[in-house]
Amino acid sequence: MEKTYQIIWADDEIDALLDETSKALLLKLHVDVVKCNNAAMLEEKLRNVSHRIDAVIVDANFTARDFTPSDETIVSGLRKSLGLIHEYKYLPFYLYTQRVNILDLVDEDELSYFKDNNAIFFKGNGLLPLLNRIKDDVDRINSAEFQIDNQYKQKLNYFQIFDKQCNAKSYNLIRELLIQSREGTLFSTERYFNQFRTEILDNMNVLAARMGIVPKELSLNDFSRFICSKAEMYNLKVEVLPKALHMLMEYVVRMVQDGSHKGPNLQYEVNQYVSENKDTLIIQSLLFAIIEVVSWFIPYLERHTNKQQNTKNWQIQDNTRASISEEGVIEKDENGYYHIGTEYSVLLKNSTLVGKKVIITNFKQNTNSCTKKYYPFFVREEDFQLID
């Protein structure tokens, strides 16, 4: 079914302009017209027409209220239309006039909208150029790309700033996902977990460490704990992340960490669930959560540019070892590292314990350069007990 374009056309000579030839052209191009003779009628139609309106055409010489056709000195209708342009900012307006020397009647500033948008068309050139331009503009305005770029302009700008600071590609990733979410074309969403981690979360950690906001490049789990004021080894004197975002940050990190891994016995088995169920809502929830977190993070960086001052906001605690009581399964990941869940790296001497369920009784901070970026904590065989 062909798309129909709905326009309102205000001109004191509208009936003469819509002759048989023009009507045939409108029919061919699938353009429907609501006719108005003055600006008061235009305003009434804009407020009360029940169907969608895509664009508005106005003449240069027509009245604001009464009906005085062919008066080439009256521009009150055009001036009234300028106010409607500001009120209906989402609609494109076009000036379609016989008069070439419009500046004889109105100031140049009054025509700025039409000039800036290259939206002045002359009747002497025929109706086709104007209609083709309207169709192109309406298709562009209604596209997911245009809507996303306008609705999320400030948010996307944060990701552009973010990318410049850490040479990342988060802007394209977030914009692509927003567009696909709007269009309903998301698929193979499990691949985005790793991209969220490498392009955004890991780089947040890097930038925060570079500015002294966190002590050093921490494991991702530890980075989340630190800015949420829950790091076992550090005491924050000044709040970093607002409390309202603590659970959001923890949710993002836990889900992205888990979703970046495949295999059985993961804490949440996110990747498996998303893949098997062709789920898109989890990725969309993470998308908007990440937008919220980065929209906090970039202004925070801009307000805290003094690294020396930032380092005064935290101190190391003498708490390198802790006792807990947490259950898990010993596994071997794709890199050959033994681990329990997504938190604990294991120094395993007896490989036959892989697959065994255990309870962790002690742990300490993971300082191993190979494994700490994956697992923030470290346990030894004497730090866990087998569960029958």
User: Could you write out the three-class secondary structure of 227-285?
Assistant: HCCCCCCEEECCCCCCHHHHHHHHHHHHHHHHHCCCCCCCCCCHHHHHHHHCCCHHHHH
Q: How many residues does the chain have?
A: 388
Q: Residue 113: exposed, middle, or buried by beta-carbon count in 10 A (0-12, 13-18, 19+)? A: middle
Query: What's the pTM?
Result: 0.70
pLDDT recorded at residue 72: 66
Helix (H) / strand (E) containing 378: strand 377-380
pLDDT recorded at residue 73: 72
pLDDT recorded at residue 318: 55
Domain boundaries, the chain: 5-142, 145-316, 321-386
Amino acid making up residue 163: D
**Alpha-carbon radius of gyration of the chain:** 31
pLDDT recorded at residue 319: 46
Low-confidence residues in the chain, pLDDT < 70? 1, 67-72, 318-325, 388
pLDDT recorded at residue 68: 60
Contact (Cβ atoms closer than 8 angstroms) between residue 93 and residue 113: yes
**How do beta strands 93-97 and 55-58 pair?**
parallel
pLDDT recorded at residue 67: 63
pLDDT recorded at residue 84: 94
Residue among 88, 87, 85, 76 at smallest CA distance from 39: 76
DSSP letter for each residue of 317-348: -S--EEEEEEEEEEEE-TTS-EEETTTEEEE-
Q: How far, in Å, CA of 385 to CA of 388, rounded?
A: 10
* Residue-wise pLDDT tens digits, 218-242: 888 889 999 998 877 788 888 999 9
Contact (Cβ atoms closer than 8 angstroms) between residue 330 and residue 350: no
Fold of 5-142: Rossmann fold (3.40.50)
